[in-house]
Structure 1
Amino acid sequence: MDFNLLPGIQEFEHWATQLITWLSLNLLSWPVILQLVFLLVLLPFSRFLGKKIHPLATEWQRKSKTPHFLKLILTNLLPIIPWVIFLLMLWITLGGLFQLEASGRSRFLINTVASLTLAWVVINLTTSLIKSRVVAKLVTLFIWSIAALNILGLLTFAQEILDAAALDIGGLRISLLMVIKGVISLAVLLWAALAFSSLLERRVKAVPELTPSVQVLLGKLLKVTLIGLAVIIGLKTVGIDLSAFALFGGALGVGIGFGLQKVISNLVSGIILLMDKSIKPGDVIAVNDTYGWVKSFGARYASVITRDGIEHLIPNEEFITQRVENWSYTNSWVRIRVPIGVSYSSDPNEAIKLCIEAAIENKRIMDEPEPNCLVTGFGDNSINLEVRIWIADPQNGIGNIKSALMLAVWDKFNAAGVEFPFPQRDLHIKGPVEIYTNPTPDNV
């Protein structure tokens, strides 16, 4: 690493001289000082008027019947009302100075502040469309700083300072200016790549000929490809030779092989699952102790939502290494067994008929294959029956269909007089037992 590229004392002295010269030419004069005093009075006055107008503007914006686009602009304009008032007053002042044919120095500071304020208002309105407030503030400050340097004529001076602060790493010259340009280019390209990939992903999902797993796979591949291109283009735009990262790439590969093997395993497992279509969004599955339907696939995990509304994030690797029950792999048909007990004093043929009738009347139970009821054994207290039904929507729940069927069977058994069993025990006494009520010494 070569530190000889860092700026020396002479360069700092040269920059200080340039800055002092600019201040003396532009600020250190009586006309400019008078304008500065005027601005210091105008700024708090504008803030005072802004606080008075803000409630009225809010009420008018809420009740007015303006188009949605104009309402959006007004909503974004409300927080910067004081700056808008300040800008309008500056323009009125400049108009008066032009009418009085004031010299350029007499209106230099007001004109500069008006340009800076206009840039601040326009940039705030533009960045207010960004959802994240923190990101919006950072973008606003950064863009306005560049605009302010350009308006003040200091942009070239600032670029020279940032470009002079540089390091030489392995023959690659890295300056602060290059880093800033790289970060900006990469941020813009990544934002464009993510936005474009989201648009393409929505287009892919709208194609009915593609299965859900293929749609997810294409969406993920497009996103990874576009992000990779954005990173490469971002590095090339700032003049970085990608061959300089060969050593770093080798070290990164070793790190991935040892430290990130689980992450890579989950990523590869997810791609395999999407390609072989064994599990896809919308499937009803059971893995380990989790039963639910697959909501989405990510690069590292799959989201499985249970009937309790709990969302489980299961690593993709588990779907490859564990035994998985996919209730909707070939189709969504699922057979459910519901045990029913009948008393020995009731007619089992009548009970079987009533069970089948109760199953047929339920709309969720399929007519084909038709419901069936079988005798499975003779228990201690009951004749054991089993109702076997098929449903085509297991994602809507298994327990609720069992409950509905058993309630329907209860109603039909009660109406037909069929008895449900209950535990019974017969007590047999083999012979009489003599009981002594008043013990005496003779019978003790």
Structure 2
Amino acid sequence: MDFRDAIDRSLAWAGGWFDYAATPWFVYQVGIIAALFALAKLAALRVEPLVEGQARQIKGHPGLLRVVIALLRRTDWILFTLFLFAALSLLRAVTWPSRTHLIQVALLLALAWLFATVLSRIIRNRLVARTLGWLAWIYAALVILHISDDAATVLDSLAIPLGAVRLSALMVLKAALLLVATVWLAVVVGNYIDERVRLSEELTPSIRVLVGKVAKIGLVLVADGGKRDGAVGVGLAFGLQKVVSNFVSGVIILLDKSIKPGDTISLEGTFGWIRELRARFVSVVTRDGREFLIPNEDFITQRVINWSFSDNLVRLDVNFGVSYDADPHKVSELAIEAAISVGRVEADRRPVCWLTDFGDSSLNFVLRFWIRDPQQGLTNVRGKVLLALWDTFKANGISIPYPHREIIMKPGAPSGR
């Protein structure tokens, strides 16, 4: 079947539905479907809270709990499918099957949507889960409506010849879906192996980390290597290795959640917070308003500091010196009070101040404190702490020394002329 045949069959299919839509029973079925959907929405408002309390009591089975919660979040759709099934059974008992065709299609589409959305909950990354859920439902809808072959023909006809290779939209779509699925599966298996290896007491800590990383990266490379044909292979053949590498790196970043929008990161002198994750790059906004588009591959191959990976708490140090006339015990107490007076400094994690050195002209200290919002800047909060130290020391008569020189002139010394 070629492109023209697919178009003709699609037009004939659409024409049949237009003719069917002109019948009175089509309008009746639309009204029944709309009424049942509204009824399901209203019933879900009462049913969901009653069942959720019982579901929350499931302990020790996080996977099962996640599936149950996913079903609860789709209570309205579950009730909708049940209502549709009941209506379909009742109508077929009293009228012709042709007068219930639209309700049957709605039931199958609702079941496909319910299955796709619940199944996608096993994928923790929301973007990947939603994408795969929608694609699964679209494919199911095409099969239910009996137009999957026509859609495949149309996508396959959208192609460009590249030498001996014919690159079609259908090939690219299949290759992309297969790549995402295999890389996701490789990451999940790699994370499981990594976790099991870390729990092993027979291996040293360094060997545990090494084995876990090799297993995770190796599985991802095997998954990627198995897809060298199709669209990915064509990209590599035409010098698009970096594009493919950045795409795969972006998938890995999305799946392992090493960085996410809102995180504060440092990478090769760039300090800022992540605004957006794209297929090819990561958008990082700095404090001066500049936006850096950093390739995904750099976040895999370079050393990245994620200031907010596990939590947002960040410790900062401020070094200062005071005169030898000052009492170091009192200096430490005043420095801690000065740091706490700054709004962004965490009072729950009390700052500390230590005497670090007897310098040439000062007692040297380090003041350490914690903040919870590194994305708001580091230099500015250090500056506020230094100003608070200045005000506190000045109010308590503690001087901050500065270098000075004394010249002693001896009588009778040669003038140097």
Q: 1:62 to 1:103 in 2, by over 3 A?
A: same
1:209-228 matched pairs, under 5 angstroms: 209-228=202-221
Instruction: Give 1 or 2 for the bigger CA radius of gyration.
Output: 1
> Is 1:134 the equivalent of 2:127?
yes
- Give the TM-score of the pair, scaled to structure 2: 0.52
SS at match of 1:167: strand
The one-letter amino acid of 1:144's match is W
- Give me the whole-angstrom Cα distance separating, in 1, the residues matched to 2:91 and 2:241: 66
Note the C-alpha offset of 1:191.
0.8
1:122 pairs with one of 73, 93, 115: 115
1:92 to 86, 89, 94: 86
Give the aligned partner of residue 205 of structure 1: 198
CA distance in 2, matches of 1:310, 1:43: 50
Would you say how many aligned residue pairs link Structure 1 and Structure 2? 256
Out of 44, 53, 77, the position equivalent to 2:71 is 77
Within a 5 Å distance, the mapping from 1:41-120 to structure 2 comes to 41-62=35-56, 72-100=66-94, 102-120=95-113
SS in 1 for 2:96: coil
Whether the aligned pair in 1 keeps the contact of 2:6 and 2:150 (CA below 8 Å) is: no
Contact map agreement 2:116 2:133 (CA 8 A) in 1: yes
Report the alpha carbon displacement of residue 17 of structure 1 after superposing the two structures with TM: 2.4
Instruction: Report if the CA contact (8 A) 1:115-1:151 is conserved.
Output: yes
TM-score normalized by structure 1? 0.49
Verify the 8 A CA contact 2:175 2:231 in the aligned structure 1. no
Q: Are positions 1:159 and 2:152 aligned together?
A: yes
- Runs of 5+ consecutive residues of structure 2 not aligned to the other structure: 247-267, 269-299, 308-312, 317-417
Q: CA deviation at 1:208?
A: 4.0
Residue type of the alignment partner of 2:49: P
Preserved contact between residue 6 and residue 153 of structure 2 (Cα < 8 Å): no
Change (3 A) 1:80 1:116: same
CA RMSD of aligned residues (A): 3.8
Aligned to 1:34: 28
Aligned residue for 2:366? none
1:248 corresponds, among 233, 239, 250, to 239
Give 1:183 deviation, angstroms: 1.0
Q: Secondary structure at the match of 2:160?
A: strand
**2:233 and 2:173 mapped to 1: Cα distance?**
18
Change (3 A) 1:46 1:310: closer
Q: Which residue of 2 aligns with 1:193?
A: 186
Match of 1:341 in 2: none
Once the 2 structures are TM-superposed, how far is the Cα of residue 111 of structure 1 from its aligned partner? 1.1
Contact 1:304 1:311 in 2 (8 A): no
One-letter identity of the residue aligned with 2:115: V
CA distance in 2, matches of 1:11, 1:117: 30
Distance apart, 1:116 and its partner CA: 1.1
Offset of residue 206 of structure 1? 4.1
- Which ranges in structure 1 are unaligned for 5 or more consecutive residues? 1-5, 256-265, 267-297, 313-444
**Residues 150-208 of structure 1: CA deviation (Å, up to 9, x unaligned):** 11111111111111111123332111111111111001100111122222223433444
Q: Report deviation, 1:249.
A: 6.8
* Contact 2:186/2:223, CA 8 A, preserved across alignment: yes
- Between stretches 181-190 and 170-179, larger displacement belongs to 170-179
The amino acid that maps onto 2:226 is I
The equivalent residue for 2:303 is 301
Task: Supply the AA of the counterpart residue of 1:97.
Answer: L
- 2:217 maps to a residue whose letter is V
What CA distance in whole angstroms lies between the structure 1 residues aligned with 2:203 and 2:71? 45
Q: How many Å apart are 1:42 and its aligned residue?
A: 2.2
Q: CA deviation at 1:129?
A: 2.9
Would the aligned equivalents of 1:193 and 1:223 in 2 still touch at CA under 8 Å? yes
Q: Which amino acid aligns with 1:14?
A: D
Change in 2 beyond 3 A, CA 1:228/1:85? same
Hey, what's the Cα distance between the residues in 2 that align with 1:205 and 1:150? 45
CA contact (8 A) 1:163 1:175 kept: yes
SS at match of 1:301: coil
Quote the residue 2:174 is aligned against. 181
The residue matched to 1:234 in structure 2 has which SS? coil
Pairwise CA distance, 1:72: 4.3
Rounded Cα–Cα distance in structure 2 between residues aligned with 1:131 and 1:228 = 21
